[in-house]
Structure 1
Amino acid sequence: MKFQDQFMWGTASAAYQVEGAYAEDGKGLSVWDAYTQEGGHVAHGENGNVACDHYHRFREDVQTMREMGVKNYRLSISWPRVIPNGTGEVNRKGLQFYSDLVDELLANGIEPLVTLFHWDYPYALHKRGGWLNPAASDWFAEYAKVVVDALSDRVQYWMTLNEPQVFVGCGYAIGKFAPFQTLPVRDLAQISHNVLLSHGKAVKVIREHAKKKPIVGFAFCTPCWTPENDSPEAVEEARRKSFSISRGRLCFDAAWWADPIVLGDYPKEAYEMLGDDMPQIAPGDLECISQPIDFYGVNIYESKANENPDGYAENAYLGCARTQMGWPVTPEALYWGPKFLYERYRKPILITENGMASHDWVQLDGKVHDPQRIDYMKRYLRELYRATQDGIDVMGYMYWSVMDNFEWADGYDKRFGLVHVDYCTQKRTIKDSGYFYRDVIRTNGEAIFSDTWEG
């Protein structure tokens, strides 16, 4: 049993989480750079100033990916590294870093997948109103063109935005992530609209200016509810919940973001629910937002469930398996999530993130043994394979993450990587899971069906 030919096997990372060099070679500050210097926002007062020092060690990291047999690498571009003030003068040294990284990947047989924005918003633009500024989408389009002009002769796969549900929801609704704000629903709706316009304008820029025929999408996360049983009624209820929207959780709801892009308008319930708090929609906005895309990229880690303040959420139970993040291990999410998304939006599905944080350390034999992660990958990938056998068009799977890195508000405690990073010395050690993933890639998925694995 194997995945289809041409299935894309890869890994992923984000610029702020791995690069470091936060103020080198002309780079401007992002909101993460600025606000983590204050302290009080991140575990242990940590920040991404150095992170994994990928900016200086990218050639070593690409060689490590090659050793693991990685075929695709999803990376993100730091907007303020390329345009320090967010708009205007381009930082050629910053742009050259990404050009060199792309060249290094291609020289080692690894296809780059470029994400234009993975949360590190330019601080200079934030001070000018950020995503609430009516010019926000034009700023993003300007930035997109700079990157496309520089890299599109070698890069074919593009993603505009990573998880707007999170950078808007956690950054502006609940104040957990930079810039750590809590805004009213009216502002959140307008930010969402400006973010969606940014996506649409960036897609137009990519289509119009790419030198190599582009394949374009995004990388969203999705509230994936899974059925309580296999009955048609339970399946339909899970589907309904997966695409429902609520005023209190608006920014986190999948349909709020994906419906305008793929279906051409906000959900009908949004207009009824928000009323005067709906964003200002100018003539032509929805046409711009709904530029044709080639795939639906989605980050899936767990199923979603109603919380129970006096007990367990619906997807948990006494003693259930959990990752280091505290998330229940729910492999079925990688079946039902792609299935529901494909049936609603009819776009090929790319798993742009899936993985687990675990308690990993270099053991006395000098190796990192992480059997839980191997088991996790087997369970989730078996469910993804089941989806492909049921006719769901799945393009590929990008494991999150290629290496341990700065995990946002959790600092460096949570380790998602296939490669262990000693943050004090920057030494890299491929974990057992990295070698297991090499076998998965080599066998086009066949390795996940073995109940044992000898590294």
Structure 2
Amino acid sequence: MVSSDDSKGDPVAPSTLPSTFNPPADSILWRPDFLLGAATAAYQIEGAAQEDGRLPSIWDTFSATPGKVLHGDTGEIACDHYHRWESDIDLLASLNVDAYRLSIAWPRVMDEAGRPNEAGLAFYRKLLQRLKGKGIRTSVTLYHWDLPQHLEDEGGWCNRATAYRFAEYADLVSRELAGLVDFWSTLNEPWCSAMLGYGTGHHAPGRSDLRAANAAMHHLLLGHGLALRALRRNDPASSKGIVVNVGRGTTDGPTRDDERAAELFELQHNDWVLDPLLRGQYPARLYEELWPGARPDIAEGDMAIIGAPLDFIGINYYFRTNVRSDGAGGYVEVPLADVERTQMGWEVYPDGLSDLLVAFDRRYPNLPPVYITENGMASDDAVIDGAVVDDQRIAFLNRHLAAVDEAVRAGVDVRGYYIWSFLDNFEWAFGYERRFGIVHVDYTTQQRTPKRSAELVRDFLARRRERG
């Protein structure tokens, strides 16, 4: 999920909070073929960082570096899902969800020479088999930010060779798990991997170099295209795609330069990723106006590999960013006052989701079917008298699902929505302080407590099944 370096102001709760989850009768949510699920990522929940042959990842290194993660938290234990996966899947099934999105930890399934680690592969095989046995559709992301550290030592995503190592990893995993996966996603949020990991240093591996970020982005997308070939070869019955995070840029400034600033924000946040995937080229304006001199080296044939057709695209959305001109041809963020915010300090702005979905549908005639693969919010949840009443999250889900409905009515082919997240978990640079789950996790006892939001989703899905 998206995780910026700092929050922007204190959380502001809405004045009224609906305490129910009851979509209108004509909502797409009532359609039995619309998937409503929940999502997690390996490093954020699994723990067992040094067990059964798992190699170190860049996030093991980064989180162990003083000052990089809030409170010095690491993913060493996380939600201990590696040991509790059976009961966790039983809990997930009790919520009646249609689908579950998880990621595979690259360092858990291969050694440094690229040979399979059977213990790691067995873990995911059993996990997926149990999900299938519960009737839950499986959505697997191959890369959710946990690059093996030995590959980073060789240059990481700035090294073109990493794209080919990623394709080898995709080939291995898709051969081993063929038939158990409904949806394969190659990458999660390449913008975050490239920009936060290599451009600003706020995420692992902690580099701060704009040229490195652009090289990393190109090699991430090249790896995506190469991996698609392996997935199609090894598991033809599954759907294949990629997950991208998108951001709505707006301005409250009065000038044309301020309007241009909002355009530039979306150019670098959205078009930087979507244009090569869906148009087969990077947006020229990006390097002409915003990042002159940062264009990556592109080999002949790369863009055709990157732009290979997709079966679906996953969209992750959380908030909008208000910007104004910086007076030098760029933009600067200017947070709005008196708006609702979450524990992360992110503005709650459902219209941004519908705005972007409609805009993408118009911009890209070849836009494949869309799944909202992450949407959710952090709140300072606590168990009180055995319950967690997360009214702001319930309101958040109601309003964002209404935004999806609006986009569908405008003609966008949206086929599913995954709540981020199933469990409270390790929130990257924010450690364990920020809680995104619809299930509360006590990190001392590992006790799981479904929040009110989880109970409402469970009850709605039970009603939908009764309606048929």
What is the deviation of 1:243? 7.4
Distance 1:277 1:354 in 2: 31
1:44 paired with 2:71, answer yes
Q: 1:115 and 1:23, CA in 2 relative to 1: closer, same or farther beyond 3 A? A: same
Alignment match of 2:203 (pick from 159, 177, 180): 177
Unmatched tracts of structure 2, length 5 or more: 1-25, 327-331
- After superposition, the Cα gap between the structure-2 partners of 1:238 and 1:336, relative to the gap in structure 1 and judged at 3 Å, is farther
Equivalent residue number for residue 334 of structure 1: 353
Alignment equivalent of 2:368, drawn from 317, 323, 347: 347
Among residues 396, 399, 411, which one is paired with 1:376 in the alignment? Answer: 396
1:119 to partner: Cα distance: 0.4
1:203 aligned partner: 228
> Counterpart in 2 of 1:191?
216
Could you say what secondary structure the match of 2:321 adopts? coil
Contact map agreement 2:71 2:431 (CA 8 A) in 1: yes
* Residues 277 and 373 of structure 1, relative CA distance in 2, 3 Å threshold: closer
In structure 1, the partner of 2:116 is 90
Select 1:56's aligned residue among 83, 93, 97.
83
Q: 1:405·1:415 contact (CA, 8 Å) conserved in 2? A: yes
Cα displacement (A) at 1:276: 4.8
Report SS of the residue matched to 2:248: coil
What is the CA-CA distance between 1:298 and the residue it aligns to? Answer: 0.9
Identity across the alignment (%): 41
1:217 aligns with 2:263: no
The answer (yes or no) to whether the contact 1:84–1:122 under 8 Å persists in 2 is no
* Letter aligned with residue 95 of structure 1: L
**Normalising to structure 2: TM-score of the pair?**
0.86
Report the equivalent of 2:300.
283
Once the two structures are TM-superposed, the CA of residue 334 in structure 1 deviates from its matched residue by: 2.3
- Equivalent residue letter for 1:129: G
Partner of 1:10: 37
Report the Cα distance in structure 2 between the residues aligned to 1:445 and 1:325, rounded to whole angstroms.
35
Aligned to 1:450: none
Runs of 4 or more above 6 Å deviation:
237-240, 312-315
1:360 and 2:387 correspond: no
User: Using a 3 Å threshold, how does the CA distance of structure 1 residues 370 and 446 change in structure 2: closer, same or farther?
Assistant: farther
Task: Give the Å deviation of 1:267.
Answer: 1.1
Deviations 1:201-258 (A, max 9, x none): 0111111121x51211111111223698xxxxx9xx799828753xxxx4xx211111
Say yes or no: does 1:160 pair with 2:186.
Answer: yes
Distance, in Å, in 1 between the alignment partners of 2:262 and 2:116 is 45
Aligned with 1:387 (options 407, 418, 437): 407
Q: Offset of 1:307 from its aligned partner?
A: 6.0
| Aligned position for 2:108 | 81
Match of 1:254, as an amino acid?
Answer: N
Aligned partners of 2:325, 2:444: CA distance in 1, in Å? 40
- TM-score, with structure 1 as normaliser: 0.89
Distance 1:316 1:272, change over 3 A: closer
Higher relative contact order structure (alpha carbons within 8 Å, sequence separation ≥ 6):
2
Offset at residue 359 of structure 1 (A): 1.1
Residues 84/35 of structure 1: CA separation in 2 closer, same or farther (3 Å cut): farther
Query: Paired residue for 2:15?
Result: none
Is the alpha carbon distance of 1:227 and 1:350 closer, same or farther for their aligned partners in structure 2, counting shifts above 3 Å? Answer: farther
- Residue 63 of structure 1 aligns with an amino acid whose one-letter code is D
1:406-453 deviation line (CA, Å, top 9, x unaligned): 001101000000100000000100010101112343455999xxxxxx
| CA distance 1:264–1:19, shift in 2 (3 Å) | same
* Distance in 1 between residues matched to 2:304 and 2:66, nearest whole Å: 42
The whole-number CA distance in structure 1 between the counterparts of 2:169 and 2:103 is 13
Contact 1:223 1:242 in 2 (8 A): no
2:284 corresponds in structure 1 to 268
Letter in 1 for 2:111: P
Match of 2:49 among 14, 19, 22: 22
8 A Cα contact 2:381 2:390, kept in partner: yes
Structure 1 pair 295/280, CA: closer, same or farther in 2 (3 Å)? same
Q: Secondary structure at the match of 1:171?
A: helix
Partner of residue 6, structure 2? none
Q: Name the amino acid aligned to 2:178.
A: S
Match of 1:99 in 2: 125
Q: What amino acid is the match of 2:229? A: K
Deviations 1:253-303 (A, max 9, x none): 211111111111111213534565321111111111111101121110112
Pick closer, same or farther for the CA change 1:391–1:29 going to 2, 3 Å.
same
Amino acid at match of 2:275: D
Question: Is 2:37–2:101's contact at 8 Å kept on the other side of the alignment?
Answer: yes
- Match status 1:123 vs 2:149: yes
- Determine the C-alpha separation between the residues in 1 that align with 2:207 and 2:335: 30
Task: Extract unaligned runs of 5+ from structure 1.
Answer: 229-233, 448-455
Distance in 1, Cα, partners of 2:347 & 2:437: 18
Shift of the 242–382 alpha-carbon distance from structure 1 to 2, 3 Å rule, reads: farther
Tell me, yes or no, if the aligned pair for 2:369 and 2:413 is still in contact at 8 Å. Answer: yes
Contact 2:262-2:323 at 8 Å conserved across structures? no
Give the aligned length.
Answer: 427
1:88 is displaced (CA, Å) by 1.6
Equivalent residue of 1:305, what SS? strand
Q: Name the CA shift for 1:162/1:190 in 2 (closer, same or farther; >3 Å).
A: same
Equivalent position SS for 1:220: strand
Q: Which range moves more in the overlay, 201-210 or 36-45? A: 36-45
Q: CA deviation at 1:80?
A: 0.4
